[in-house]
Amino acid sequence: MALLVPVAPASAAPSERSQTSPLVTIAQGGLRGQSRGQAQEFLGIPYAAPPVGDLRFRPSQTPKRWSEVRDATRQAPACLQFSPFGLRDPQAASEDCLYLDVYRPRGAHAGTRLPVVFWMHGGAYSQGTGTQFGGRTMAESTNTIVVTINYRLGQLGYLTLPELTTDNALRSGSWGLMDQIAALKWTRQNIAAFGGNPGNVTISGQSAGSGSVCAMLASPRAAGMFSRAILQSGPCTLLRSPDRARAERESRAFAAQAGCPGAEAIAACLRAASGSDLVGAARTLPTSGPAVGDRLLPVQPSQALESGEWNKVPILIGSTRAEGRMFVAATQPYLTAQQYTAQLKSSYGAAADRVLERYPLSDYDSPYLALSAVLTDSTFACHTYGSAQVLSRQVPTYAYEFDDPASPTLYGARVPGLDQSNAHSAELAYLHDFTMGDRPLTPAQAALANRMKRYWAAFARYGTPVVAGQTPWAPTSRQHTVLTLNPKADAPSTTFAADRQCSFWKGLPSPLAQNS
């Protein structure tokens, strides 16, 4: 089951703008941004050349310079969407999509050297856009620089065919990962002009965006390019990358579906196909994200972390309390008791009776909630716990669980009669100026959102999410201390593993895990 985040077009810019237009000069030329509230925005900045024509299925190329001051007050299109949800406005997506947005506090200027938060969106590597994740509030309330990016998606971003490249170092065909590293490199080279510190960049992401963080932690190409990392609802042991053999099999099946079978002229055929035809060819085929087996990503990120051979930085990692609700609501919202039992038998085989004993229907108000609990604990919760244990033996590691029993649902994803609070992606509206929440936050939720932004910014600034006047956040240790983030009060806990029955789940399969 893919880790999906539905897509909506970016919200219109609010009208409260200053008459003063901030100017910044970077390596490519001058940029004119806009002031909003106590922050300034520079939107739609190209970090790479458009990956179209002969540049389709090639590594990200340096963008061209411009001579006139470039208007940077409008967000760029999303990359082509490969999921069945897609954008409501088809004109809001394009192959010419390698752009990023920069948000800074109003007082920032070259030389300020503020910490930088570099955000990679989720969406199963097949949908989403950085424009859904505004950084204005984070920038102005925490005195940080926020960068959000687009990157190539679906088979345009991840296609493993040796015919597409002569460079053996890039045989995985992970063009989307190359885009992310190119955007990170651009940030390192240019962020000082906005007032950021290129030596203090925190990479962060959620779901497939967290999987992208995992890839950067393991990629030699990203070594030395960031100082900290945040993994939200995407532990590296859960989001496994395919090996090159599997990725190539799936890529050849896609090429055949797109009308480009065989090896002869396959590259030319795929580069000549229309974007809509490629999206159509992928409808019944998976997008597996970055593959392993070349110098871009030599081994599984989880294997790299376990071995100690990775780009070691302090880590902030966590999940939401009911991750599984999103997936069950999207696929089996009204399943019966009989279907619940059948689902567990299908997923766990001989171990199904043991799972039923641990998660009996009598403990839940509905089969939907029971199956959601099984999915949450067996996947995100216990994989996050296991990852934090591995990481905490090597670097400072801080763990959280988001728990707001009244959190908003993703726009367009609500199913009547179901409690979808605390589901996968629930925390996003609390950390970003998020365009996908189905309703505004209440005052109590807004207060939690403010605390969370301060925790995240403190981690980006100092490598520890400790904020004066807020609940102390201890690093994960053998007791596995987790900070529960709740509108009433944040509270540390040492019972996470027991509450989630992680000892039981160790060794049992994870239904959402991507296997290589």
Residues catalogued as catalytic: 207
* Length reported for the chain: 516
Instruction: State both tokens at 276.
Output: 């809509």
- CA separation for the pair 350, 96 (Å, rounded): 50
Maximum alpha-carbon separation in the chain: 69
Do residues 466 and 458 lie in contact, with contact meaning Cβ atoms separated by under 8 Å? yes
Q: Which two tokens stand for residue 497?
A: 């593993």
- Residue 213: exposure state from Cβ atoms within 10 A (0-12, 13-18, ≥19): buried
For residue 398, the cross-strand partners are 316
CA dist 516 and 249 (Å) reads: 12
Strand-pair partners of 400: 318, 483
Q: Is the dihedral of CA 51, 55, 58, 59 positive or negative?
A: negative
Cα–Cα distance list, 151 to 73, 95, 161, 352, 493 (Å):
20, 10, 19, 40, 37
What is the C-alpha separation between 201 and 226, in angstroms, rounded?
A: 5
Q: Three-state SS across 427-490?
A: CHHHHCEECCECCCCCHHHHHHHHHHHHHHHHHHHHCCCCCCCCCCCCCCCCCCCEEEECCCCC
Tell me the pairing of strands 196-206 and 228-232.
parallel
∠ at Cα 480 (118, 233), nearest 5°? 35
Q: Is 361 exposed, middle or buried (0-12, 13-18, 19+ CB in 10 A)?
A: middle
- Measured from the Cβ of residue 163, the count of other Cβ atoms closer than 10 Å reads 19
Rounded to whole angstroms, the Cα distance separating 319 from 422 reads 9
